[in-house]
Structure 1
Amino acid sequence: MAFFNRLQTRIFAFFVLLIIAVLSLSFWLSYQANQRLEQQYVASQLDVASLVFESQYDNRSYYLAAFAATAAKDFGLKDIFIDGDNRSFLVALNNHRSRINASLAMAVSAEGKIIGQLVASQTDKGREVVALGSEQNSTFRYLLGSEFETLSPFYLLDNKLYQIKFSPLTSGGNSVIGWVGFGFLVDDALANSLYKLTGLNSGFILTSADKMTTIGHSGESLSNDESMLLSSYITDQKSNLDYILWKQSLGDVDGQALHAYMYKSRSDLLASIDSQWLQQVAVLVLMLPVSLLLAFLISGSITRPIKQLIAQARFIAKGNYDSNVTVDSSVELQQLANEFTSMQQAILAREKAIEHQAFHDPLTNLGNRNELQRNIEPWLVSGSKMGLCLINIRRMTEINVTLGHEVGDEVIKEVAKRLCEINSDAFAYRLSGDEFVLAFKHCEHQSFDVLLSKLQQQIGQDYHYKDVMLHLQFTAGVSFYQPNIDIVTLLRQADTALQHAKVNKRDYQIYDANIDKNSIERFQLINELKVAIEQNQLVLYYQPKLNLAKQKITHVEALVRWDHPARGIIPPDTFIPIAEKTMQMDALTRWVITEAMAQYHRWQLLGIDMCIAVNISAENLKDEQFCHWVINALAEHHVPVAAMTLEITEDAVVSDPELAIKQLTLLRNNGLTLSIDDYGTGYSSLAQLKQLPVDELKIDKSFVQKLLENQADQIIVQSTLQLAHNLGLKVVAEGIEDKVTLEWLTDLNCEMGQGFYLSRPLPERQFNDWLTQSDYQ
């Protein structure tokens, strides 16, 4: 009996029972979890198969429909269609097909005749071969009109199945003159792509009353067992416990039912899960002897520290360092509790003092940042209407330096006292030297003005300390509760508002997202811009300039865009200011000029002789090496200086006219054409304009867009043309949006025109297509 009264025995027995119970429960839970995991895994695989197939199918369908609609809007294709030049039409149709690597391209006349059917295939060496389809010049197998709109998205041609989309060709008053369609092949390649995405054997089957035809299948050919399995599942809806199966009906194709399927052996699919289960069982079995050994060791080690703690507790509580440590039965636990009671009281008192120091400011006894967070967190959780007012006491540094820190401390304590008297619903905290926070409940934008007025009255009272009178002032930033906001964000918003108030010399500012200059998106763009320049994520768009005298496109303006891998095309207004403020403008401009020179050579190979205009900024002109780099780069890339025009705004010259004129003169002396961009919106004077070594002016679009509607704009433009011509300068008019404005400027001998009437800025390929079809080529 005495053996079981020992604490070590009881602890060991308890651990043994606990370990057995825990291991038994773990085994049962693991088994149940494994069963659920298998079920969930199978279900998730089927869900994934369905989602992947729908995504692939919908993407192909959308892409075909969108491209067919785009091709149907091609005026060149329509003109050839109407002219009846079948050879040219087939060439144009094949060009459209090749852009998306379509396997089938078709065109059907309004009378139902197939006037174009191109089938692309791959040779054994992987070379693409395009041939006329077997239905060329035959009658289309489906009806036209509204029934054509509901045509099955699948087309069976020469025992090959195509996913196809048509779009109407219209002319005149939107009358349909024919149809154009493009299709992707449904074959082993598509099945293999589904297999790679899902890990399931995939394919497509056409079924009829007496046969089943495999259209495409991943991997090797279907075995007899697999064919029987799929036939039973697709036709009779009979599942098989040894396999997971999925199918999707895709409609009828020429009287046959089309199905997509995916399957896999259940044992293969769940092999990794079963292996994990066996490993878990092995671990549980191995844990039992190890756990028993550890329980025995732990039970023996527990009693020794307890006895030592009893002796140590006596030393601390009584100060008797010579007492002997006695050994008894389990009574020592009661003795340990008695001895620690007195220690708890002492520790509790010290913890209260430590906690007060951790959550309060020692000078003012106000709560600090920790106390603020502890008190405000319940408000945010409950969604209470509240706000934070971050207060900065002005001239505290001057007070400390001039009158000493003793006076500064007294001022801080006085401010704390006044803040506590503001309102019963406003709680004051001190964050740092001269920063305080007022946290106020039940206060919104509308009622804050009353609180601010009282705050100004309370803080603004003169403060007398000894023989010194001080007039206290403050600047405040305010942020209000928003759903799903935390205290850190609320404080950051208040600080942002405070800094904005300081910069704009205001007494206070309420936070608005528009003044937050440190947004996450902007911060990410700042970090990513350098990588974008280095990794060629930028792309140039080109807007044509029309020589009004020759009625010919002779110049273009190169405009940079950021083709962000995640955000898509980012306009220059978003990232150009970032480049200017982060000292990356020089690298950006050099990239644009280098790409423009490469574009010049690509156009030369196509027989296109084009002068390219590039914008440079004030930051570029501040770098005295920039102009030398431009001159050397043109020489190294064998680009004539006459093929490059540099555009600069008036504002860039105003910041440092002497240096700007020096840099521009160097460029001009080396043969480069210089242009003043956005003329009329900047700050340059006529005297400064006379000194600038430029060749042309670009009249800002704000004077041209509504030129014929505004008499004042006409006078400004006419005067600018006369002034520029008298100074020997050419003129480019921006913002031309209609033919009448173009003719008006031509009559006044304006040299160049640019605007949306001619074309919006276009990427290289689209610009080349536009130029080929333009009346001004």
Structure 2
Amino acid sequence: MRLGITKLRTQILLFALSLVLATTMVIQSISWWSANQFNQQQIRQNTIKAENILRQYIRSSENNLVNSARVLTADFGFKQAVTSGDKDTIASVLMNHGARINADLMLLTDLSGRLISSSHSTIYDEALLSYVVKDLLEKPGTAHIVMLDNRVYELILLPIMAPRTIAYTLVGFELNQTTLNELKQLTGLDITLLKHSVPVYSTLENIPNDAEFIKTINSAHTKWFWMERPTFINSDFMPATTSINPVSILLSADLRPIYQQYDDMSARIILIVLLVMLGSIIVSTIIAHTLTTPLAKLVGIANQFAKGNYDAWQEPGQASSEIRDLAAALRTMGTEVKQREQVVTWQAKHDALTGLFNIHTIRSTLAATMQKYGQCVVVATYIQNFRQINDRLGPEVADACLTVLAQRLNQFATAGEKTNARLEGIEFLSVIQLLPGQSPRQVVEELLDNLDKPFQIGNISLSAHFYAGVCCYPADGYDSKTMLRRVRIAADHARLNRTTIHVYTPGEDENHLEELSLIEALQALLRQPTNIELFLNFQPKVELKNGKMDTVETLIRWHRPGLGRVAPDKFIGLAEQSGLIVELTHWVIQETLKQLRRWRDNGLALNAAINVSAEDLAHPDFCHFLEKQIAVYDIPANSVTIEITERDIMYDEALGIEVLKTLKNAGYMIAVDDYGIGQSSLSKLKILPVDELKLDMSFIRNLDSSLTDQKIVRSTIFLAHSLGLKVVAEGVENAATYSLLQEMGCDSVQGYLISKPRDAEDLVAWLGENNATYSFSADSITH
């Protein structure tokens, strides 16, 4: 499930709102910080201003008091009254002078601070007054804030000189609530007079009149949402005062008006933000709609493209140039993907080189095709000499041949319908409908006649020949798997037996399955470290000149428990067809060298001949493997003869000759096996790096009774000796043949007359029975 936040419309809206909120928060933060800094500065300035005003007020009052007091103390009549002690005159003068200067308090004390006279009838604490006078004397002429009789005065003390100091006069103005209110008007701050931290007078309202005042005013806070803000900023102002009943002044700046201004500004900003957010929602919704509507259409088109519906195109409508460009790109992409998909689909069903159906397509459609055609013939065709074309003329010419072959298959004229496919490499398949009266073999012969025509590739004219395997539907099968298997079995039969056409016959399928079973079993045996089914037999070779036996031919045998012996020609042929021949040869080489080592360790120095195939010579690791095993078992290279047939040498003549030269240079003996039945040629024989010819048993089996065979064998022996080669005759089965070969000058013989193939232990026993020196004659051999 997709979250709504992943939608572009939602993202645009969230972006707009986030931008507005972020901007608002930045503006609000800057505004708050700036306002706070400004207010703090204003409060500091106002506090300093208030302190200055208070100082000026006190100084101004002080000047008035000093001037008035000096006038009084300089009055001669007043001095006489003080000297005479006339209390009535003193009181009258104090009252009149105080009234004239608007003084609230006029006192006269003696030098010890005892009250002599007062402008008021108030009785003052003499001890307190004495302390006050004492403190004022420290700074005479300086105004002090003093508390007397629970009232606060700004007092000044001046001595009365006649000419010595005879008394002190104290003149003062009262500081009361009215005075504080006037000062508040001047300073703009609240003022509190404190005695021992207890308020005496204050312009603040609703405050405790006790010792908790300072704590209360410092902890006063104003609620703002979840925050608490201080109500006041307080500043202490310490005027000149007395040590007893000291009076201090507290200046308080009320922050609530400032908060109110800021709150009003915040409310206006929030209102503006809400309006901007509403506008941004509307605008972003319009923009999102403009963007997402055509994008949604494009998404729908892309989804249709994903389903393979490349024709589901519709214009996105009015949209920005970028979206129109995107739409054009999407349309182009759809067209190109459609074209590529068509190409990929075609390539998935067809062979890239020939354009015919490939094996996957024919497997999936063969059954339906055969049912559609009704009676039909299925033909698997192989090119006989394609390897030679590819090796001699190169892959380009070979590919051109395959292309021409495909064209001929498609152009083959038949009365019914046909379907052609390339299965693998040089294997082609044709399904041809049979009409009433048509013979399957006749149709196949016409097809091969059409294919057998020379190939004209550029300036090169090539002849190609074909093998064909044939199955008929529905006689030979109904389903694709069965028909493909059987037609390939028939084609393999034609190729292996070198017949142009082979029609599948019942039972070949079972033989093929048996062969597959043998191949699987052989493969499993070769992959095992040890096995008891594969083993070696050795057939002795005897030198006719002296009857000496020092060489054996290695022959592989296979005995399956419960199933019996498997014919060597059969499983070796299957190994060649299935690609197991190299592994099989490696096993034979390793086991042969291992046995030679055992014999030599027991004092029996025998040589061995090992048969190899064309696939072995073509394998890049063959020579290296042989050298490695020779080194492992410490066997001289000249103790091993490599036997290979003429046919295998000619399989890849250039490579075969090169490998044989490498082996001969390494010290191995080279023998041409089955000589006389392959592509025998004197020109080839003189360039082959061989040491001996091994006459095929077809010339030896009837040698004693066939003059023709005798002529062939005699001339071959003469020719071989002329070229410096030795001759070995295989298949010697009677004494007459033995004697004839001896008389013809043949070098060595082997066959059942000498000995049948034996296992290693039996061979040693046989050697001991015949002659301890391993010398033999036709009459002395014990079979």
Asked if Structure 1 and Structure 2 have the same fold, meaning a TM-score greater than 0.5 normalized by the shorter chain, the answer is no
Structure having the higher Rg = 2
* TM-score bucket of the superposed structures, by smaller chain: 0.3 to 0.5
